[in-house]
Amino acid sequence: MPEAGKRRVLAFDFGTRRIGVAVGQELIGSGKPLQMLPARDGIPDWNTIAALLAEWQPDLVVVGLPLNMDDTENDMCARARKFGKRIHGRFNVPVEMVDERLTSYEAKGDVMAAGGSRDFGRHGIDDLAAVLILETWFRLQG
């Protein structure tokens, strides 16, 4: 694995209907949206995730942890942790969880500010949230 500061990182914004995906380089400290994966009750097409991991060959995967505002965990936290553990177990890639509070809210605001509509399912909220999760992780490394 490359030394800290030079890693390629793939980030996931876990959801029960969609999972946003972003990629970034730690050296640059920013990410770009890749895609939104459909999920059925939080279960993705694992073949699609395998293809993403094969294509981007990340040194690390970051999964957003949707903590409550009072720092407590909820049912979605448990599901996001399980998703992260499955990625680690299936693909043998290191996985870290990162606090993702308000990232979806911020991503919706970014889309609206850019003139997007409220039909967020078609306009990339989940993949933009994954970028924000990734960039939060980058900031925490510095």
Q: What CATH number is associated with residue 47?
A: 3.30.420.140
Q: Is residue 57 part of a domain?
A: yes
Alpha carbon separation from 46 to 51, 52, 97, 127 (Å, rounded): 9, 10, 19, 17
pLDDT in tens, the chain (142 residues): 677 678 999 999 999 999 999 999 998 898 999 999 999 999 999 999 999 999 999 999 999 999 888 889 999 999 999 999 999 999 999 999 999 875 554 545 554 455 554 444 444 678 888 999 999 999 888 7
* pTM reported for the whole predicted model: 0.84
Look up residue 28 and give its two tokens: 């640059």
Residue 47 Cα distances to 51, 53, 87, 102, 109, angstroms: 6, 10, 12, 29, 32
Look at strands 95-99 and 30-40 and give their pairing: unpaired
Encoded tokens for 104: 């979806």
Q: By residue range, what is the domain housing residue 13? A: 8-141
Domain presence at residue 1? no
Is 3 part of a structural domain of the chain?
no
Q: State the total domains in the chain.
A: 1
